Amino acid sequence: MSMIELKKVGRVFRTSEVETIALENVNISIEKGEFVAIMGPSGCGKSTLLNIMGLLDRPTEGEVILKGTPTGSLSDRRAAAFRNRTVGFVFQSFHLIPSLNVLQNVEMPLLYCGMSEGKRHERARQLLEQVGMSHRLRHLPSQLSGGQSQRVAIARAMACNPDILLADEPTGNLDSHMSAEIMQLLLQLNQKEGRTIVMVTHNEEQAHQADRIIRFFDGRQVE
Amino acid sequence: MKEIFRLALINMRTQPLLAALTVIGSAVSICLVMMVFIVRQASLADYGNEPNRSRTLYCCAQVFKRAKGGTESSWMGGRLVNEVFLPLKTPQAIAVFKGISKQEVALTGLESQEIYVRAANADYFRIFRFDLLAGQTFTPEECHEGSRLVILSESVAAHYFSHPAEAVGQEVSINEDSYVVKAVVRDVASIMKAAYAQAWIPCSVEEDFGRNGPYQVAMLGESEAGLAAIRDEVEQRLRVHNQTVLPDTLDLLGQPASQEDYFYRNSANRIPGLKNIRREFYIIYLVLLVIPALNIASMTRSRLRQREAEIGVRRAFGATRRAILVQTFMESMVQTLLAGLLGLGLCFLLLACFGGSITQGVLNQSMGPTFGFAWTLDLSILFQPAVWLWTLLFCLILNAISSLVPTWRASRCNIVESLK
Ligand SMILES: Nc1ncnc2c1ncn2[C@@H]1O[C@H](COP(=O)(O)OP(=O)(O)O)[C@@H](O)[C@H]1O
Ligand SMILES: [Mg+2]
């Protein structure tokens, strides 16, 4: 059973004037424990692909199967549960909640799987220690550097212990030194903990550290 | 639950201006509604000098239908009071009193003042509660004999005497007749329709068998449920009484009646339209809530707009639509409840300062002010559970109108769009 399976996935954005085909007939199968890099010029549909894999968006055609479950007809509740427990997202622009401190940001997903307050604290601290951020628990996101923000974001993505980590240009806003650190962290999560990782990147060097590279052009898989 | 409160506080701190505007707007709205509610409550509920309203029945008017045609309506005649009301067995007390009338009061040698004077019997002082500052209320014998005694309100007494105790036993003239001060009581607010006056003199009805007259009656039951028995007994006695006035008939137009009926019965030959009055109040409440609520809704909306990214992030990490809806709705509920408290506080402040004109405005009371006229409300009404319950109810309605739609929309937002 594949961890992620996309069958003939298409995504068309329709506005009153134009129709944009962001994805067309995409077939991908990703196994448990794989580290997959997605590459391609900007605007070719990489983010759309990741959003669809993580159930943030729905395809206009085809099917997304996560851990053997077809997701097309999931209720809001079950889709939310998938986003909560099976998938963790890391965004290029971090998307930490500005009004919450580091600890609260990492605790946030745990709120939605009904964990008690004490356990949430414990788990969040442990995750922040793992990403080397345990000295900044009470800081607000605005007080962190880019690299630090992304570490916190990775800790948050790991909160509910998901099988899959989806990272959309996680190093896109970082300098090369910080990028290398974040890449190191992701590789660790893949190799030591066996998490399945799908990462969008423009960096060839990073992509070659992955098990497999999928290249996109104009919404189509070319490799 | 705890998390919801914490988030509400965090968000109020991060959007202080919008939060403050929302809270102030809601507080003003709640304040206006509660002002009207409290004045109505003060006129109808067990409160102040009339603490037994809910177990009191009133009768203040009679209509004779003449056999020849035509009607005569007036306050109640002495004969009706003596033959139907005073012999009643079921009430615990039967107050007989007259309407207030403006009279000249003076201390010999000093210039006179116009004040409201009311005649009342001994039971009147049992059904209604007066805070005695000095002296005693009338005995049944004193009333029966029509003794020349008077009970003064505090502010009238203060005009002539330096201390309430000093007033007792002194003579004052009322419309040029001389009366001895028997007691001094704390001022009564004019919203107390039966209890209000500035001076009380004994009411003697026992020798009066007039057909038409100046009397009103209040009957105290054991409890609210016990009032039906009083009504039955009155009806029975009235039927017997009606035999004696043949060929005319005497009609009490739905009386004995409740406090609400008594309060709005301003004309002897008309039953007050309580349904319409209640409906008017409900419309006032609704208007006072809906208009501000719509304004607040637009603030709630822009508040949630600013937080679209946050909501998107929460959804991306597993919040269901329901969770978002509950969270954002409860957040504004917390704010609205805060506003409710603030509004209630504001309301009491305003009533304490301008109680008189507010009462007059809300109730359309037309009594002209005289010397020492008291419009003030006794603020103990704050501690009536009904006031708190209705504040809560108004908060719920206000919050539902002002935030249900915006929060519902927020919970339906597109995750990818909101993360852009
Ligand atoms: N909400 C949208 N409405 C219309 N077009 C969109 C929307 N989102 C993405 N697109 C279009 O879909 C294509 C793919 O976008 P995206 O997946 O963000 O590309 P990438 O991440 O590879 O840069 C682009 O042409 C983009 O303009
Ligand atoms: Mg992109």
- DSSP code of B10? H
Residue B372 has pLDDT above 90, yes or no: no
Does residue A13 line the site of ligand 1, with CB under 6 A? yes
B37-66 pLDDT per residue, tens: 988 888 899 988 999 999 999 999 999 888
Separation CA B332–CA B343 (nearest Å):
16
**Structure confidence at residue A223 (pLDDT):** 65
Query: Within 13 Å, how many C-alpha atoms sit on residue A44's CB side?
Result: 18
B415–A84: do the CB atoms touch at under 8 Å?
Answer: no
Residues in chain A predicted with pLDDT less than 70, given as ranges, are 223
Q: How many residues does chain A have?
A: 223
A152-184 pLDDT per residue, tens: 999 999 999 999 999 999 999 899 999 999 999
* Ranges A209-223, B104-118, B299-313, B385-399: which has the least confidence: B104-118
B202-217 pLDDT per residue, tens: 999 988 998 888 999 9
Strand A212-217 relative to strand A35-39, pairing? parallel
**Structure confidence at residue B374 (pLDDT):** 55
Please tell me the pTM assigned to this model.
Answer: 0.81
Q: SS3 for B5?
A: helix
The strand pairing partners of A39, in sequence order, are: A215
Strand B132-135 relative to strand B56-59, pairing? unpaired
Contacts of B282 (CB under 8 A, 6+ apart): none
Which chain B residues touch A if contact means CB-CB below 8 Å? 2-3, 10-11, 13-14, 309-310, 312-323, 415-416, 419
Nearest Cα neighbor of B304 from B406, B219, B198, B398 is: B406
B225-264 pLDDT per residue, tens: 999 999 999 999 999 998 887 788 888 998 899 999 999 8
Considering only CB atoms, B14 lies closest to which of A77, A99, A159, namely A99
Share of chain B above pLDDT 70, in %: 94
**Structure confidence at residue B219 (pLDDT):** 97
A112–B323: do the CB atoms touch at under 8 Å?
Answer: yes
Q: Choose the residue to mutate in A15, A16, A20 for probing ligand 1, maximizing ligand atoms within 8 Å of C-beta.
A: A20
Contacts of B415 (CB under 8 A, 6+ apart): A51, A56, A57, B312, B315, B316
- Strand order from edge to edge, sheet including B62-65: B71-74, B62-65, B249-251
Residue of A nearest to B308 (CA): A97
pLDDT band of residue B103 (cuts 50, 70, 90) is confident
Residue B352 has pLDDT above 90, yes or no: no
**Structure confidence at residue B360 (pLDDT):** 67
Distance from the Cα of A191 to chain B's closest Cα (Å) equals: 24
Long-range contacts of residues A120-123, Cβ cutoff 8 Å, at least 24 apart: A123/A159
- DSSP-assigned letters across all residues of B241-256: HHHHTTTSEEE-TT-S
